[in-house]
Structure 1
Amino acid sequence: MQTVFITGANRSIGLETAKQLSAKGLFVYLGSRSLEKGEAVVKELNEKGFQNIKAIEVDVTNPDSILQARNIVENEQGKLDILINNAGILGVNPQTASETSVNDIKEVFETNFFGVINVTQAFLPLLKKSDNPRISNITSGLGSLTLHSDPEWKYYHVKTAAYGPSKSALNAYTIVLAYELRDLPFKVNVIDPGYTATDFNAHSGPGSVESAASFIIKHTLTDENGPTGQYFSNDIEDETGISPW
């Protein structure tokens, strides 16, 4: 049975991804900043027939919390097959370039960028023990510099001084990581689940969590010939789903 660890998985897209992967027969570590909330979610899932899910406490901005989570997975499984870095925050609004404070920007980067790096580096030794390791970093269309430079893009006027740049940085880091791991059986990609109706955006997005999770899984559970170092978006309207950087 393959094992997957998903950060920020106690609600919204992360939770739906956990449910769909569990239904596919994977063992899911459902990452939550609050163990109590995570365990409550798992209890509800168990009552609905999902048995191969376990809540695990992890705060991606706290190295000790990450290490404790890594130790649990290592002691129980000995390896990890899939890491989905899903945890993220939007930050304060509005986010103008001229007035958003450096501290507010740093706070977003701590979770969306540095948190992903800390989690990834902690779990890499376990992922290297897998025959088919996968790392999926959940990004956003707002991280695409190409699209942000195109006045014809439908979200051209949605500019954020903290959130978007944190995802652009994440995209850049993923390219470097995929290159570093290119000679190993890793597949490392960034995946944008699309503008989805969640608590994150006051349910303003047109997409469903079911579609978002399905898209993440499609580009995570790839075979040995699958792409690596790529940027996929559920908002790209062609069969490839490849987004410009």
Structure 2
Amino acid sequence: MNAQQLKQLLNDVKDGRLAIEDAMAELKKLPFEDMGFAHLDTHRELRNGYPEVIYCAGKTTDQVAAIVKRMLELDYSNILATRANSDVARALQALTPNVEYSTTARIAVINRKPLPQPAGTIAVVTGGTSDMPVAEEAAITAEIMGNNVKRIYDVGVAGLHRLLSHLDEIMSANVVIAVAGMEGALASVVGGLVDKPVIAVPTSVGYGANFHGLAALLSMLNSCASGVAVVNIDNGFGAGYMASMINHM
């Protein structure tokens, strides 16, 4: 239940269209709904501005489908399922026709009521093409949350002229998400060029001494550029969500 639905519920009670007992039954679902295998947080949109997002890894296809089915029954407009495989996507497409699935980002989106976009832009910048799966997770997350996203991919520090050729676009964004593996130097370079928040996303892309993204994570945490904040390894969703919050302030 979102704020608009809650207002409608209260107005229905006030105008006599809904009995108090029926309203109480609806309000009992507000904190969460016990589905047996999951507790669906039906209160999150009221608290945080966006409903609960489904993390599919570790869940069965049937569990994800049951959660989405209930969210659709509760009239959720925008549903986001991250780390979803093709089996999950097919199960969701059987529930509703308007499912968009990105094989690159492994994200399934049900966007029945697109949110209004603020004037600002979020720039998603990657060091290499190999960082695209994490970058797309960030970009799609930001888009479904009502943001204009500019993608600037494969502009890493191994060819710095590529990054500099897009400098005007990057500097004009309200927030920059810098996605990079290997040594993760992109975030420091971007942070030294712009006067906007930079959200650094280390990826697990790299050779053995990269330690599955740990080297990039430590490099970004030790950035000498001011204004750089870091999310966890491969956490494109977290970066997209945070960038959306900043862009909507």
State the TM-score bracket (shorter-chain normalisation). Answer: 0.3 to 0.5
Structure with the largest fraction of strand: 2
Determine which structure has more spread, i.e. the larger CA radius of gyration.
2
Alignment TM-score, normalising by the size of structure 1: 0.41
User: How does the TM-score come out when normalised to structure 2?
Assistant: 0.41
